[in-house]
Structure 1
Amino acid sequence: MSGPNRRPAIPVILLTGYLGAGKTSLLNHLLRHPDARIGVIVNDFGDLNIDAGLVVGQVDEPLSISGGCVCCLTDDSELEDALVAMTNPKLRLDAIIVEASGFAEPLTLARMITRMGHHRFHLGGVIDVVDATMYFDTVDTSHLPPLRFAATTLVLVNKLDQVPAVDRDATVEAVRARVHERNPRVIVIGTRHARLDPTLIFDPGAGERGPRRGDSGVGEEPNQPELPIRELLRQAYAEAAADEIGDDETDAETMPHRHAQSVTVTGTGPADADAVMDFVEDLPSGVYRVKGTVLVPMGTGQRSFVVQAVGPNVYVAEAARPASKAPSSHAGAGDGSEADSVLVVIGEDFDAEAAEAALTAALNGDAAATVPESSRRGDRSERLLHHVRLHT
């Protein structure tokens, strides 16, 4: 369980896809986000070819990147050591991305990461990048789609700018139908130049908001100096964002990404743990990620838990401190009231009203008062506690 000074577990995101589909483009795009600090683990620098302008340092040790660090491993036996090293609070990483093509199969790798985590890191999703221009030349429709899609949580149908405009929607739908033969819960999104809103998959700047000097339990360390390139990236990103308004075709080269959709729901009083788990264990169509903190009845008292869900992957840990207080915005809340539970729903083209209604009902109302005395010994929180134990 999380102690009072432990940094929140870091999401580990697996990146898969054939050579040339756009994995490098996606990584470089994420690394250029002005607020992101990302750890990257690769099997072969030559295959990945991360933008040299984003990498500084020595090749024989973890490299410093403008927004994080990178390790190069020869096989997956070194993976756990690298992941643990990247959870060092001094690095203040928001996420760790593992370029998975040179390691074990993504399904096996996903299981390994879940088993290794121990509340230091957790599986934050499996992203597969598909080349829209090559997909139908390589796919064998006489067999089931590749097994890796069983673990995949997000598919990017990339290079849509190279597909005739009249065929783009049909291309995305065809890939979606094919992927769903293996895993109907995968979200499929069309992209150009692999530009994806980072907030869809992790929280840029979360590491900067983590434990500070004296909070990490490893002594007081000075903040890492900000590299000059980060200011240049921040400026370039801001200029690209300013160019978003205009013709879709002319902005294809300049806009940083299509923005993800999000809804924030707050609650007062203890939440209904069963209702919360009903939502996160079976996310509505279009919802990719849920994050937040919930206060639930536990025995004769109440406890707060961090809840994260990405596709079918659910991570729960005891909160390091009581649920974050935030202005409550749910119906019926008086002005100035504070929230005991906060959940943020993130995705693409989902029913925001339905998601908000479901979570408003789950997070609000006195859940403790509705639970029979005979059931107040954690039974209704057993599903939540099950996920805590999975990572212990």
Structure 2
Amino acid sequence: MSGPKRRPAIPVILLTGYLGAGKTSLLNHLLRHPDARIGVIVNDFGDLNIDAGLVVGQVDEPLSISGGCVCCLTDDSELEDALVAMTNPKLRLDAIIVEASGFAEPLTLARMITRMGHHRFHLGGVIDVVDATMYFDTVDTSNLPPLRFAATTLVLVNKLDQVPVADRDATVDAVRARVHERNPRVLVIGTHHARLDPTLIFDPGEGERDPRRDGSDVGEDPIQPELPIRELLRQAYAEAAVDEIGDDEVDAESMPHRHAQSVTITGSGPADPDAVMDFVEDLPPGVYRVKGSVLAAVGSRRRSFDVQAVGPNVYVAEAARPVPKTPSSSAENGDRPDVDSVLVAIGEDFDTESAEATLTAALNVDDAGRADRSERFLHHIRLHT
């Protein structure tokens, strides 16, 4: 007999990079997004170096871990306590961002997050911010690239606005080639002022869903209202864009310069878990993350699994809630089945037709393909337990 359904695990995104590269610019940019609810943990040797007002507008207070680099602490319980506190369902967070000290080792931090998770939270990516203006002055091409890139899932080549226009593409290409010497699976993109589409790395607004709508019995209290600071954040988001790019026509609905691509695939009946895992364990070029729920045959039963992948990091859990039934009008007449599985692939400049074809085949199989092939799903669940 299965136990109670878990709440969805919250993605923890590690934000790394050397001092001055633009980590804080990226963090503030994400916090200004009007639909995002983000928890923030800052690990630095200095003062809290983010716009505290914006952080307070998203969650009650930013949590600061000081007194040394968190990945060098002999007792890492402070980080775990902070992460667990932010999984409180009342916060309804979309993501937790850990802004690491410039001296932090991303590989060690990534392993710590994975070890601590226990389906409360999971590693949602490691972003490394590189200063484009300093790259050619600091890189030592005679040696292997830094080990930090072994854990990195996304590299932002930032401050491209400070690089001559004719040199920008070459700068990004040079960083990409260097990073890929260490890890060919890392997505490398160029940014101005660390501005990119937040949907590339997390789902703004996902945490707004009220937990009562999962069917849990939590009484008849009214649903918590929108944060009153939301409209102020919309205005701040637009004003920041004007300040940064000098465009007087930017408005509150403006999106960042970098727009993510996405493709959504649905399936009916139990999917082929092996085919799904083949895709998420080796994402095609340009696909940064995959998310969704998959129905699979497990023995004589059918079970739904939450599946998420960011770069090489794969997370699988028992679905916290079933895949919503979204039949079309024709489905009501028996022409199309309901949706049992849905996966979304998100990235930049990837072959959407190929991704759609591969995942469509994985989620829609004939009866011969519906046998129990769930062992890889169950293996990943055990890894995070």
Normalising by structure 1, we get a TM-score of 0.86
* Aligned Cα root-mean-square deviation (Å): 2.9
For the residues of structure 2 that align with 1:80 and 1:217, how far apart are their CA atoms? 29
Q: Would the alpha carbon gap of residues 48 and 164 (structure 1) be closer, same or farther in structure 2, given more than 3 Å must change?
A: farther
Q: Which residue of 1 aligns with 2:177?
A: 177
Q: Which residue of 2 aligns with 1:246?
A: none
**Alpha-carbon shift at residue 49 of structure 1 (Å):** 1.4
**Alpha-carbon shift at residue 54 of structure 1 (Å):** 1.2
Q: Which residue of 1 aligns with 2:114?
A: 114
Residue 381 (1) aligns with residue 381 (2): no
Q: Which residue of 2 aligns with 1:82?
A: 82
Matches within 5 A, 1:236-247: 237=237
SS of the residue aligned with 2:175? Answer: helix
For the residues of structure 1 that align with 2:89 and 2:317, how far apart are their CA atoms? 18
Q: Would the alpha carbon gap of residues 45 and 8 (structure 1) be closer, same or farther in structure 2, given more than 3 Å must change?
A: farther
**Alpha-carbon shift at residue 68 of structure 1 (Å):** 6.3
For the residues of structure 1 that align with 2:290 and 2:192, how far apart are their CA atoms? 25
For the residues of structure 1 that align with 2:36 and 2:272, how far apart are their CA atoms? 34
> Which amino acid in structure 1 is aligned with residue 326 of structure 2?
A
**Alpha-carbon shift at residue 323 of structure 1 (Å):** 2.4
**Alpha-carbon shift at residue 204 of structure 1 (Å):** 0.6
For the residues of structure 2 that align with 1:229 and 1:46, how far apart are their CA atoms? 28
Q: Which residue of 2 aligns with 1:70?
A: 62
For the residues of structure 2 that align with 1:261 and 1:358, how far apart are their CA atoms? 17
2:267·2:364 contact (CA, 8 Å) conserved in 1? yes
For the residues of structure 2 that align with 1:301 and 1:143, how far apart are their CA atoms? 53
Matches within 5 A, 1:95-244: 95-101=95-101, 104-212=104-212, 226-235=226-235, 237=237
Q: CA-to-partner distance for each residue in 1:150-204, whole Å, 9 max, x for gaps?
A: 0000000001111111111110000000001111100001000101111101111
**Alpha-carbon shift at residue 299 of structure 1 (Å):** 0.5
1:2·1:317 contact (CA, 8 Å) conserved in 2? no
**Alpha-carbon shift at residue 65 of structure 1 (Å):** 3.3
For the residues of structure 2 that align with 1:217 and 1:73, how far apart are their CA atoms? 36
Q: CA-to-partner distance for each residue in 1:319-370, whole Å, 9 max, x for gaps?
A: 12332323479xxx9766421000000000000000000000000123x533
Structure 1 stretches of 4+ moved >6 Å: 213-222, 238-241
Larger mean Cα displacement after TM superposition, 100-109 or 187-196 = 100-109
Q: Which residue of 1 aligns with 2:280?
A: 280
For the residues of structure 2 that align with 1:317 and 1:192, how far apart are their CA atoms? 36
Number of residues of Structure 1 aligned to a counterpart in Structure 2: 368
1:266·1:328 contact (CA, 8 Å) conserved in 2? no
Matches within 5 A, 1:28-47: 28-44=28-44, 46=46
Q: Which residue of 2 aligns with 1:370?
A: 369
For the residues of structure 2 that align with 1:115 and 1:2, how far apart are their CA atoms? 24
2:132·2:171 contact (CA, 8 Å) conserved in 1? yes
For the residues of structure 2 that align with 1:338 and 1:361, how far apart are their CA atoms? 17
Q: Would the alpha carbon gap of residues 21 and 221 (structure 1) be closer, same or farther in structure 2, given more than 3 Å must change?
A: farther
For the residues of structure 1 that align with 2:54 and 2:176, how far apart are their CA atoms? 33
Q: Would the alpha carbon gap of residues 2 and 283 (structure 1) be closer, same or farther in structure 2, given more than 3 Å must change?
A: farther
Q: Which residue of 1 aligns with 2:73?
A: none
Q: Would the alpha carbon gap of residues 339 and 19 (structure 1) be closer, same or farther in structure 2, given more than 3 Å must change?
A: same
For the residues of structure 1 that align with 2:132 and 2:249, how far apart are their CA atoms? 17
**Alpha-carbon shift at residue 235 of structure 1 (Å):** 4.3
Normalising by structure 2, we get a TM-score of 0.87
SS of the residue aligned with 1:212? Answer: helix
Identity rate of aligned residues, in percent? 82
Extract unaligned runs of 5+ from structure 1: 56-63, 244-248
Larger mean Cα displacement after TM superposition, 190-199 or 228-237 = 228-237
For the residues of structure 2 that align with 1:152 and 1:232, how far apart are their CA atoms? 34
Q: Would the alpha carbon gap of residues 45 and 51 (structure 1) be closer, same or farther in structure 2, given more than 3 Å must change?
A: farther
1:195·1:256 contact (CA, 8 Å) conserved in 2? no
1:160·1:190 contact (CA, 8 Å) conserved in 2? yes
> Which amino acid in structure 2 is aligned with residue 369 of structure 1?
A
Larger mean Cα displacement after TM superposition, 24-33 or 317-326 = 317-326
SS of the residue aligned with 2:230? Answer: helix
2:45·2:101 contact (CA, 8 Å) conserved in 1? no
SS of the residue aligned with 1:193? Answer: coil
For the residues of structure 1 that align with 2:281 and 2:362, how far apart are their CA atoms? 14
Residue 296 (1) aligns with residue 289 (2): no
Q: Would the alpha carbon gap of residues 278 and 72 (structure 1) be closer, same or farther in structure 2, given more than 3 Å must change?
A: same
> Which amino acid in structure 2 is aligned with residue 13 of structure 1?
I
1:7·1:210 contact (CA, 8 Å) conserved in 2? no
For the residues of structure 2 that align with 1:73 and 1:252, how far apart are their CA atoms? 39
For the residues of structure 2 that align with 1:206 and 1:195, how far apart are their CA atoms? 21
